[in-house]
Every structure is written in structure tokens, then in C-alpha cells.
Amino acid sequence: MRSLSTNIRTVPLEAVIWLTGLVGLAVAGPYLDGHVTVCVPTLMGFDFCPGCGLGMSVSYLFRGDLAASWAAHPLGVPAAGLLAARSAHLLAKRKRSIHSS
């Protein structure tokens, strides 16, 4: 039987990153103004970035505000679904490999 620390170390890093991002967006408040941005085009002074609003859209989605989610970015719902599905796939793959060992 594997120890807890061994099991934690074998969790795929990609799944940890995606799930941490989703949890962060679920906890973050999309209603706050004056947030800090890490968007390179915005920081360079461009007015348009195709990805801006995506995180806010996912954050609204976690709060059940579908209209605000769509208004912030129409790809927020598919993005959240894809990240959740990818994480689930990675974790299921890990589980299958542990049981086949």
C-alpha cells in the first residue's frame, strides 16, 4: 500500500495546475474593480486582447451568473468545461495506472 505522500507526489502536475486555476477563479471575486492584470497585450497598451475577460467569465460561471459570464467572454463556459474534463481525464489515467501496477 502506498503512503499518502507517495500518492500526492504522483498526481499529474498538469492536473494540479488546472485545478488550482479553477479553484482560484471560483474563489476570486469577479465584481471587484481595479484588479491587477497579467495580460501582456493590455500591459503593452493595446485595447483589444482576445483572451481578456476569460477568467472573469469563469468566475461569474462559478457564481451561477450565466448572463455576466457570457458578457465577460463567450468562451468561459467551454473553457471551464474543458479544463475540468482534462483534469478528470488525467486523474482517471493516473488511477488506472496505479491499479494496473
Q: How many CA atoms lie within 13 A of 72 on its CB side?
A: 20
Q: Is 33 a domain residue?
A: no
Taking 70 as the threshold, does the pLDDT of residue 32 lie above it?
no
Q: Which domain holds residue 96?
A: 39-101
Task: Let me know if residue 6 belongs to a domain.
Answer: no
Q: pLDDT tens for residues 9-28?
A: 678 999 999 999 999 888 88
Q: What domain count does the chain have? A: 1
User: Residue 8's pLDDT is what?
Assistant: 63
**pLDDT tens-digit readout, 83-101:** 999 999 999 988 777 767 6
State pTM to two decimals: 0.75
How far from 64 is each of 58, 73, 82, CA to CA, in Å?
Answer: 10, 15, 18
In a domain, 19, yes or no: no
Distances in whole angstroms, Cα of residue 42 to Cα of each of 24, 50, 67: 21, 11, 24
